[in-house]
Amino acid sequence: MSEECCGPDESKTIRPKPAAPVLDGDACCGPKLPPVFAKSQEEEGEHATRPPSWRDPALLPSAFSGTALVIGYLLESSGVEIPALVLQWVALLFGAYTFVPSTVRRLIRGRVGVGLLMTIAAIGAVALGHVGEAAALAFLFSLAEALEDRAMDRAKEGLRALLSLIPDIARISRLHGEETIPVAELRELDILIIGAGERVATDGIVVDGTSSIDTSAVTGESISVAVRPGDAVPAGAINGSGTLRIEATADGRDNSLTQIVALVEQAHARKGERARLADRIARPLVPTVLIVAALVVVFGFIVGDPTTWIERALVVLVAASPCALAIAVPVTVISAIGSASKYGVVIKSGQAFEQLGTIRTVALDKTGTLTRNEPQVVEVASYGYAEHEVLDFAAALEVSSTHPLAAAIVAAAPNAKPGQDVAEEAGHGITGVVDGRRIRVGNTRWLDPGAHREAAAQLAERGMTVVVVEVDGQLAGLIGIRDELRAESAETIRMMRDMGITPIMLTGDNERTARALAAEAGIQDVRAEQLPADKAGAIGALAAASPTAMVGDGINDAPALATATVGIAMGVKGSAAAIESADVAFTGHDLRFIPQALAHARRGRRIMTWNIGLALAIIIVLFPLALFGVLGLAGVVLVHELAEVLVILNGIRAARRPTGARPQALSPTATPTPVDTPENTLAK
């Protein structure tokens, strides 16, 4: 149990990329431990895994307290008074040891919390001669607090395990040969040597070698990815059979893996609406309960029965303590966000997590989100020339262009010789001379297809961007280039519809191409030819009508991502501006994890609501029962602490991934199953 619900200092800005992640803290007030890399790898490893409950030192005081209490009660029932009293005192001292010292320290600093209520109740019970009841209170409170700590540790285990994916040392290439150094000393531009089966110590780009890498422990995807020079490799990935030389693009202390953990830890401090609601209720409740208890004592003196009413005041202190309320939301948020990070969905705040559970509309960018962002020539219509000649003419000019469509044309005709006198007409096309012929290559707005206008329209209606090739003023052919949909796009849209979520396409592409690809994906509402400001305006209107998420990856998506109820950035190939503007960073490749994240957040939101309701119900029911003497101190303590344990266990359930939205294999006949290695268990 948190001793107090201080809440975050919302006047301070939480930066998106802290120097290093933190991994611990008060369940209510947020994380407060020093950076992970302030510790040695050995020290971090010692704390990375919870010991079994029967070996957990944190549970020993409660175990001793409970054992002494049970034996004491048995001796008391047998008429052995003195040994029974001694054991009850032993139980009281062991139980009080876990919360009284910290309560006193906080009280000296002028802070009050749940522990103060329990301390006053225990002291009062002893003063009234009820040592056994005071011992029961101390035992149950200390046990609930120890179980809460274990729950929080369990929720954070995935984050610690993510950091454990970074090896202790790395081999790097120097002018004088190979050298082995600690990973913390790795710097950007160092050349790492990654042998077969070794882990990548930090983010980098392959500069030599070909292999395949397993990123399942980082992104949750079980299929290995082939890599070659020029491909990006994330920290924590496992190399396959080949040897790779990788140029580091991040320091060993600050890479994608440590940033994921840092972002998740920020979420513990930045609380959502329900967390703030719990804090707003719990913070004034402690002094209010103290005042009510004091009034009950005064009433006892007025009616002439102070002993009875002092005892009831002590019971009221325990009955109205907001223990369960203080922990109702944080343990749920930490469990759920930590779980989401294991399959490539990094939720940056508790507020974003709660809002993610309210989403009813999802707007998706087309290029790079629904599509692969890898344009390819899919059809060539030639008029008076062979198809390969049309491609050669276009490639001869486009080889000098940086336009994405140019790369697709050059890839389709790799042997074309560069043209001469090449000049680019911005927004239109390109001109030049090839083998003495004047060539123009451009869009249909610049070069009119003439009698073949209908053929160009048919290509556009099939989702292609049409490039016109003209030779010496005459139409030579039409090239249809298409950025194919991701294999899982249609299934992702279907999963969203099954959840009652309305998908919308927002794109800057032309209307015909956008509608063709949208129909193939199963999207009915299409907003095409949108500038960045248009996207932001459309998202603003949608969000005003219902909670709306925006999924995008480019710089032009950044305003829309910031405007949406929840912005989801495609982090693998996404721009820094998009990731910075988003509330959720999606680090994987499989779009189907997005509806899974939405289902995960909905479930977590339901659990939070149930926890808050239960915590309030316990206080509302127990308060009058305590005030009118229906329940004594032992009964109230038992009910209260059992309810808190129930809240904790319910909150931990939020770590489970929802089965209803879990992605299946793209092939209808096979489902990829990750190998059950210790690393891959993180991805489950």
Q: Distance between CA 532 and CA 51 in Å, rounded?
A: 52
Give the rounded distance of the alpha carbon of 380 from its chain centre. 44
CA 644 to chain CA centroid, Å, is: 26
Q: Which of 125, 150, 544, 159 is nearest to 361 (CA)?
A: 544
H/E segment holding residue 246: strand 244-248
**Tokens, residue 79:** 């008429």
Q: Which residues contact 544 (CB under 8 A, 6 or more apart)?
A: none
Q: What DSSP string runs through 256-310? A: HHHHHHHHHHHHHHS--HHHHHHHHHHHHHHHHHHHHHHHHHHHHHHHT-HHHHH
Count CB-CB contacts under 10 A for residue 280.
Answer: 12
Q: Pick the closest to residue 331 from 605, 649, 62, 6 (CA basis).
A: 649
530-554 as b/e: b if 16+ CB within 10 A: beeebbbebbeebbeeebbbbbbbb
Q: Is 485 helix (H, G, I), strand (E, B) or coil?
A: strand
Q: What distance in Å separates the CA atoms of residue 406 and residue 13, rounded to the nearest whole number?
A: 43
Report the alpha-carbon distance of residue 230 to residue 226 in Å, rounded: 12
Q: Which residues are catalytic?
A: 365
Identify the CA nearest to 566 among candidates 331, 366, 341, 360.
Answer: 360
Burial of 145 (0-12, 13-18, 19+ CB in 10 A): buried
Q: Distance between CA atoms of 637 and 148, rounded to whole angstroms?
A: 16
**N- to C-terminal Cα separation, the chain:** 29
Choose among 241, 250, 258: nearest CA to 192.
Answer: 250
Distance CA 213, CA 238 (A): 5
d(CA 657, CA 492): 17
Q: Are strands 244-248 and 204-208 parallel, antiparallel or unpaired?
A: antiparallel
Residue 84: which H helix or E strand, with range? helix 81-97
Containing 144, the helix (H) or strand (E) segment is: helix 131-164
Q: Which residues contact 223 (CB under 8 A, 6 or more apart)?
A: 672
Please give the radius of gyration of the chain, using alpha carbons only, rounded to the nearest integer: 32
Q: Which two tokens stand for residue 661?
A: 């939205």
CA 430 to chain centre: 45
Are the CB atoms for 73 and 85 separated by under 8 Å?
no
* DSSP for residue 58: G
Please say whether the dihedral angle defined by the alpha carbons of residues 340, 346, 350 and 351, taken in this order, is positive or negative.
negative
3-state secondary structure of 349: coil
In the beta sheet, which residues pair with residue 80?
A: none
What span, in angstroms and rounded, lies between the C-alpha atoms of 62 and 492? 49
